[in-house]
Amino acid sequence: MSDEIKSEVMSRRRAVSLLGLAAARAASLAGLGALGIAVPTTVLTVSDAEAQTAGMTRRQERRTGRRERRETRREARRAGRETRRAVRRGTAPQ
């Protein structure tokens, strides 16, 4: 009972790959020869690579830039508020 169950999220790419392999296996068992059905070879390859395209990379860079700019603006607003409050209270540094 020491077996651990590992669950992973299956990507669409891996699911399509498995479906292609199952179709190829069924075709070979049905006697249709070496893939008597039209299945692209890209579907039949199993790949652990995630879909990391140039567009996705650019999008992530834009998101990161926006987040950093937003944090900078927030820090500036907080610092400004603290300064204004200190001036109102008369505890502003001279």
What pTM was estimated for this model as a whole? 0.41
Higher-confidence residue of 3 and 29: namely 29
Q: Where are the alpha helices (DSSP H) in the chain?
A: 12-29, 41-44, 54-89
Task: Say which residues have a Cβ less than 8 Å from residue 93's Cβ, sequence separation at least 6.
Answer: 86
Q: How confident is the model at residue 17 (pLDDT cuts 50, 70, 90)?
A: confident
> pLDDT value at position 52?
81
Q: Which of 40, 55, 50 has the alpha carbon at shortest distance from 13?
A: 50
Three-class SS state of 94: coil
Dist CA 30 CA 89 (whole Å): 86
pLDDT tens digits, residue range 45-65?
555 555 589 999 999 999 999
- 10 has a pLDDT exceeding 60: yes
Q: Which of 14, 40, 36, 11 has the alpha carbon at shortest distance from 25?
A: 36
